[in-house]
Amino acid sequence: MNNKKVFPLIFLLCFLSLSEASASESTYHVTLGLKSWFSKYAINNSAEFMDGRTSNFGLILGPSLSVRKQRWRLGGNYSTGKYTFESFSFPDSNNGTQFTKNVTTLEVDRTDWEVYLGYQIMPKLSLLLGYKRLNYDYNVDLVTTLEPTKVLPFSIDRNTDTMLLGISGFYIIKNSWWAETFGNRSAIAGYATLAALYADNQRTDKDELNKTSNTVNTEMWGASIEMGLTNSWGSGKITTQLGAKYHIFKDLDLTEESDAFFGIAFSLNYTL
């Protein structure tokens, strides 16, 4: 069965389980948040001109929402942002004629969203199950040194649908400078997800000059890990987390291709 049908079905079943398991408890805890990720994008790609390139820092930003009841938690995140790369050149040839291609524009728009269900198996440890969708839009302008000089614009549109399996947890900091300064509601928190036993990845290459396109479907696996310091402020309704996040996706069909993202993550949350 197609993953795009399986994953939403799994999530629906989890949601129904959450509703039934929580029937005896009337209190819901709703948390609204804003997540940011100041990060870089490193490309390992079969396209020679993109292979080994690392972007400038880009800001990935978006809202989050979670509802907690007893041991269960249902949530979702959405984020979007852009990575830009420095211009560069590389050699090429045509019918024995050597020339240079100048990449004047290489930009990647990233958008992703996810929904997940968490279950607290221990006071400080939860299991996560969910569904994630990632979209990357690559916009590239090539300028050749052949006469006449030509601008060769093209774009790449990638969509990845994947199942999320992971854990999240925290450790409360006590009897330390941090706890004395900020209070005992401070904690080291983190989560790790294995994103995809079978991830559908659809890539469409578009030649904007000749109005042609080519679509390839592959499978990928991925992983994401984030760890940082969390602190509750005031009455405890406001929490912040500052730390590091690393995310990688690797193509199972093209073993040399991977996408890695790394940087500083910050989130601000308010519990109603």
Q: According to the 3-state scheme, what is the secondary structure of 248-268?
A: EEEECCCCCCEEEEEEEEEEE
Residue 2 above 70 pLDDT?
no
- pTM for this predicted structure: 0.79
Residue 163: pLDDT band (50, 70, 90) is: confident
Q: Where are the alpha helices (DSSP H) in 22-83?
A: none
Pairing of strands 151-172, 258-271: unpaired
Q: What pLDDT is recorded for position 17?
A: 52
Q: Which of 21-35, 90-104, 175-189 is least confident?
A: 175-189
Residue 184 above 70 pLDDT?
no
Q: What is the pLDDT of residues 197-209, one digit of tens each?
A: 445 666 666 665 5
Average pLDDT over residues 45-74: 86
Q: What pLDDT is recorded for position 24?
A: 46
Q: What pLDDT is recorded for position 172?
A: 75
Top-confidence range, 60-74, 76-90, 126-140, 232-246? 60-74
Residue from 223, 226, 167 nearest 199 by CA:
223
Q: Which domains does the chain have, with CATH numbers?
A: 3-19+29-50+57-83+109-139+155-271 (2.40.128.90)
The residue ranges of DSSP E strands in 145-211, in sequence order, are: 151-172, 187-195, 199-207
Q: What is the pLDDT of residues 64-105, one digit of tens each?
A: 999 998 899 999 999 999 999 888 777 666 666 666 777 777
Residue 39 above 70 pLDDT?
yes
Q: What pLDDT is recorded for position 143?
A: 79
Q: What pLDDT is recorded for position 183?
A: 56
Average pLDDT over residues 173-190: 62
**% of the chain beyond a pLDDT of 90:** 25
Residue from 68, 66, 75 nearest 21 by CA:
68
Q: What pLDDT is recorded for position 22?
A: 45
Contact status, residue 40 vs residue 55, Cβ threshold 8 Å: yes
Token pair listed for 56: 């400038």
Q: What pLDDT is recorded for position 94?
A: 65
